[in-house]
Structure formats: structure tokens, C-alpha cells
Amino acid sequence: MCASQLSSADPFDAGPYARLQAALNRRRLWSTRAPFRAAALTAVAWVPLVVLAAAQGLAWNGRPQESLLLDPSVYARYLVTLPVLILAQPISLLPLAMIARYFPEAGLVSQADQPRYDSLLRSARSLLDHRGAEIALVLLAYFAAVASAGSQYPTSESSWVAPIVGGERHLSLAGWWRLLVSQPLLLALWGAWLWRIVIWARFL
């Protein structure tokens, strides 16, 4: 991408997982529209939890701690926070692009510094779309999901995630889905936003 293209393009519209989204879109399995993506990923995180919990009698019963549908944290994480993180992308990324383009338009970047400015834009886009960063974010998401499991649902208490039956605690089917899919997905989206913030701070 040349300097003029960089200056006119949205310099921060790239981001982690963009290649995966583009591949799914080419196969008509995905849509680049944020509402569709938010609905699809929310369904992946939420619907199997309810179905699997219901199959084991852990969706709604006489014990609130063992009832997924009575757990407010589940709604907060997977029905509110997760879609908001996705819907915020088109709202937030355009202002970032406008701010980045404002620097040379306002005369804050001299002709002598223009090559350095364009280099910073290229570097920012490259880091945002870096394959190694994507892999690292996914690995960190899984690590954080496993590391925080005990604090969110203490092992000494029976819950829909891991009910205690006969004195033994075992992960439920919904608990496994949460550990392997729902929570890592949420944390990966958080990580993507943190990565964007780091790159934006570096650019500034």
C-alpha cells in the first residue's frame, strides 16, 4: 500500500482475526456486518450453554447456584459484554481513522515527517493484523479462562458449572462448553480490544 493510499484508507480498520472473518465471508458462512457477527458469536457462546445445562437439569431448578438461568454473570458476560465488544468496532474504529488522518491534514505532520508518519501507519496495520498476535491472544484467552475458573466458581461450592454429587465435583456439559468455548471467546474479544489500544498508544 502506497503512502497516498495509506493516508486515505482507514488505518485502524484492521484487527485480530480479520483473515478468518474474510475467509468465512468468501465462503458465505459469515458476514462482515457487525450485528450479524455479534448475533452469531453470542449464539455460539450462549445457546449451547442453555441446551447442555437443560439436558442435565442445570438450567433451572430449586437450587439457584446450580441454575444457569439464575446466574446473572452469564447474562452479563455472554448476552451483554460479548455482543457489545463486537458492535463497538464500527463505532470506534472510524473515529480512530479520522484522528489519525487529522494529523497531516491539520499541518501537524511536516513534509519532511510524512514518510515517518506513513511508516507508522503501515507498522500499526501490520501489527494489528499480525498472525502471531492472533495466536498469542487465543492462547492467552484459554490460559486466562482456565486460571480464572476457580475464582469465578469456587471449587468448594456446587454450581451449574461443576455440581457436587455424592461428595465429588465434576464439570457439567455446560461447564465444559463454558471452559472451552464461551469464556475463551469472550476473553479473545477482550484481548483484541486491548491489542488495539496498545497499537493506538504506540502510534500516538
By CB atoms closer than 10 A (0-12, 13-18, 19+), residue 134 is buried
pLDDT on residue 25 = 57
pTM of the full predicted structure? 0.81
Dihedrals phi, psi of 100, to nearest 5 degrees: -60, -40
Question: In sequence order, what are the residues at sequence separation of 6 or more whose Cβ sits closer than 8 angstroms to the Cβ of residue 81?
Answer: 186
Task: Give, as one character, the DSSP assignment of residue 75.
Answer: I
Give the pLDDT of residue 188.
Answer: 94
Over the Cα atoms of the chain, what is R_g? 21
Confidence of residue 204 (pLDDT cuts 50, 70, 90): confident
User: Which pLDDT score, from 0 to 100, does residue 20 have?
Assistant: 60
Residue 7 banded pLDDT, cuts 50, 70, 90: very low
Least Cα distance to 89 among 7, 12, 22 occurs for 12
For the chain, what is the domain count?
1
Tell me which of 22-31, 34-43, 93-102, 130-139 is least confident. Answer: 22-31
Contact 134, 16 (CB under 8 A): yes
* Domain span including residue 141: 3-203
